[in-house]
Chain A
Amino acid sequence: MTAGSAFWYGSRATGVICLVLLSLVAILGVLVNRQGRLPGLPRFAVTGLHRNLSILMVAFLGVHVVTAILDGYAHIPWLSTIVPFTSGYERFWLGLGTVAVDLVAAVIVTSLLRDRLTPSLWRAVHWLAYAAYPVTVVHSIGAGKDLQSGWLLALTVATLLTVVAAIGCRVASTLGAVSRPGRVPEQLARAASTPRTGSLR
């Protein structure tokens, strides 16, 4: 195996890991938002896992990008890591990958600076993360030929289905959300029927 192909294999392998990690991060993100819990773990651990896995993903993403460039075969310029659709090789599929990197970078940076930003700005950028996921999947399937068959295809489809389900829950909760003043008559009606029970949330 040449140094070139070692980089190439490394890039493909870390790419798959990034896809899996991104899926986990997305699912955990939905879980945090819905105030869900993982068995045996306190709530701050769900948030912590969401964060730490995203940092782990950034590490693997870094390796994925660097190895792709260091591999001489495809001649990907360094610029293409942040500016989409500027590489000669597989311009479109790779470009999508760059778009995903940009989106992830925006989310990570704003999250690190979270206490210095307004909550609404942070939230707006975080919603971009939902865009990063489909972009990543399409990039993975298009640029990474080996995802198009075999167990890697199965893995991709599995992560896709789980994440879509999680996003579906998230969107459903947003669509079903009543404006806060609108919740008041409902609360009053429920309190009237069962006043002493626990939270009406």
Chain B
Amino acid sequence: MNERLRVNPILCSGHGLCAELLPEQIDLDEWGYPILADQPIPHSLRKLARRAVTDCPALALLLVRDR
């Protein structure tokens, strides 16, 4: 079962923690907002992805099941 990152762009205020924790999947645009890779999260990065979700100060990052 694949998981994917999604961001709630309304809650997101551009803290940028997620991109620090998971640079392989998350980049920041020129305004500091996250650009998510459009692919499922590799197994090796799952733990980091979960940490990024919990650590987001705005609770804007989500892990969703891949459809």
Where the two chains meet, the residues of A that have a C-beta atom closer than 8 Å to any C-beta of B are 32-33, 35, 42-44, 47-48, 114-115, 119, 122, 198-201
Contacts of B5 in A (CB 8 A): none
Pairwise interchain contact A114-B54, C-beta atoms closer than 8 A: yes
Task: Identify A201's interface contact among B32, B53, B54, B59, CB under 8 A.
Answer: B32
Using a Cβ cutoff of 8 Å, how many contacts connect chains A and B?
A: 39
Contacts of A119 in B (CB 8 A): 11, 58-59
Pairwise interchain contact B15-A43, C-beta atoms closer than 8 A: yes
Q: Taking the nearest CB of chain B, how far is it from the CB of A63, in angstroms?
A: 27
A198 nearest in chain B by CB position = B30
Interface string of B17-57 (1 = CB under 8 A from A): 10011000000001110000000000000000000011101
Task: Identify B53's interface contact among A35, A48, A115, A198, CB under 8 A.
Answer: A115
A42 to B21, CA, bound (A): 9
Pairwise interchain contact A44-B54, C-beta atoms closer than 8 A: no
Size of chain B's interface in residues, with CB distance under 8 A?
17
14 contacts between A and B (CB under 8 A): A32-B15, A32-B57, A33-B57, A43-B16, A43-B20, A47-B17, A47-B57, A115-B54, A119-B11, A198-B30, A198-B31, A199-B30, A199-B32, A201-B32
Contact of A42 with B20 at beta-carbon distance under 8 Å, contacts A48-B55, A119-B11, A119-B59 already known: yes
Pairwise interchain contact B59-A122, C-beta atoms closer than 8 A: yes
A200 to B55, CA, bound (A): 25
Main secondary structure of the interface of B (DSSP, over half): loop
A201 to B30, CA, bound (A): 11
Pairwise interchain contact B14-A201, C-beta atoms closer than 8 A: yes
Contact of A43 with B14 at beta-carbon distance under 8 Å, contacts A48-B55, A201-B32 already known: no
Contacts of B13 in A (CB 8 A): 35
Contacts of A33 in B (CB 8 A): 57
Q: List 14 additional contacts besides A43-B15, A200-B31; criterion CB under 8 Å.
A: A32-B15, A32-B57, A33-B57, A43-B16, A44-B21, A47-B17, A47-B55, A119-B11, A119-B58, A122-B59, A198-B31, A199-B14, A199-B32, A201-B31
A114 to B53, CA, bound (A): 10
Contacts of B30 in A (CB 8 A): 198-199
Give the one of A42, A44, A114, A198 with max B CB within 10 A.
Answer: A44
Q: Taking the nearest CB of chain A, how far is it from the CB of B63, in angstroms?
A: 9
Please list the 4 inter-chain residue pairs (A to B) with the smallest Cβ-Cβ separation, ordered nearest first.
A119-B59, A199-B31, A44-B17, A43-B17
